Copies of this chain bind each other. A is one copy, B any other.
């Protein structure tokens, strides 16, 4: 089985033009099969403000009414995705942009209303790899924004970390998959206040022990749950590090495995 790398890059890189440029040049130079998943950054919030559409966040998740969904499809699938594609082409990486509607790739269901009505937010139900595969096997790199669809004509806002893990899981049926989460730290920290306390390797047993000890808090806990779920579902390993980890493995970073 050939190896494929699924790289997720977050909003902090998207929002910083120089950091994005550097990241894309490194991603373009990454050898072998690859897929990119990008977050949205602050541009959607900025456009909402410009258009006087109220911004409503609950626990870091965006409440997505119809006007907000339009903004998200414009910013994520339009401005950000197409500029990333144009830049990757300039670095000789033949890339093609995807929302989850494209190629019927990511089918989700609108999140049921419980305590909170998230609006047009989708939870992933199924990933179809056919369109991705025919491109990947022809040296064309899929680049996903964080939008899915319900197969009934409705686009849905979907968390980019989840898109990355679900795409990686689905591709695991056809390739050996390495899922790489790029974020602002050098890796998973044993002590959240010490940037040098990066955990080099963490298997699922160690993770459970550290979790019980209360070592992981805030946004890191759902991120790690997501990572171990991906590993259980067929992803070979997960790497968490700063954006340059995709090409530079001489630095600190975390490797997660079962």
Residues of A within 8 A of B (CB): 47, 50-51, 70, 73-79, 81-83, 85-87, 89-90, 94-99, 101-104, 130-131, 134-135, 138, 140, 147, 149, 151-155
Give complex CA distance A75, B155 in Å.
Answer: 15
Closest B-chain residue to A98, C-beta based?
Answer: B96
Q: In the complex, what residues of B have CB within 8 A of residue A98's CB?
A: 96
Q: In the complex, what residues of B have CB within 8 A of residue A73's CB?
A: 78-79, 82-83
Other-chain contact of A79, B78, B86, B131 (Cβ < 8 Å)? B78
A85 touching B97 by the CB < 8 A rule? no
Give complex CA distance A149, B104 in Å.
Answer: 25
B89 touching A101 by the CB < 8 A rule? yes
A103 touching B99 by the CB < 8 A rule? no
Say whether, besides A78-B75, A78-B79, A134-B135, A85 and B101 are in contact (CB < 8 Å): yes
Q: In the complex, what residues of B have CB within 8 A of residue A147's CB?
A: 82
Shortest CB-to-CB span from A24 to chain B, Å, is: 9
Give complex CA distance A130, B153 in Å.
Answer: 28
B89 touching A151 by the CB < 8 A rule? yes
Say whether, besides A79-B74, A82-B73, A131-B135, A153 and B89 are in contact (CB < 8 Å): yes
A97 touching B99 by the CB < 8 A rule? yes
A94 touching B104 by the CB < 8 A rule? yes
Closest B-chain residue to A90, C-beta based?
Answer: B153
Give complex CA distance A136, B226 in Å.
Answer: 35
Which 10 residue pairs across A and B have the least CB separation, nearest first? A78-B78, A74-B74, A90-B153, A74-B78, A86-B101, A96-B102, A85-B101, A77-B78, A86-B149, A87-B153
Q: In the complex, what residues of B have CB within 8 A of residue A131's CB?
A: 94, 96, 135, 138, 140
Shortest CB-to-CB span from A106 to chain B, Å, is: 11
Other-chain contact of A102, B97, B138, B149 (Cβ < 8 Å)? B97
Closest B-chain residue to A99, C-beta based?
Answer: B82
A77 touching B81 by the CB < 8 A rule? yes
Give complex CA distance A83, B73 in Å.
Answer: 9
Closest B-chain residue to A76, C-beta based?
Answer: B78
Closest B-chain residue to A155, C-beta based?
Answer: B86
A82 touching B155 by the CB < 8 A rule? yes
Q: In the complex, what residues of B have CB within 8 A of residue A70's CB?
A: 79
Shortest CB-to-CB span from A77 to chain B, Å, is: 5
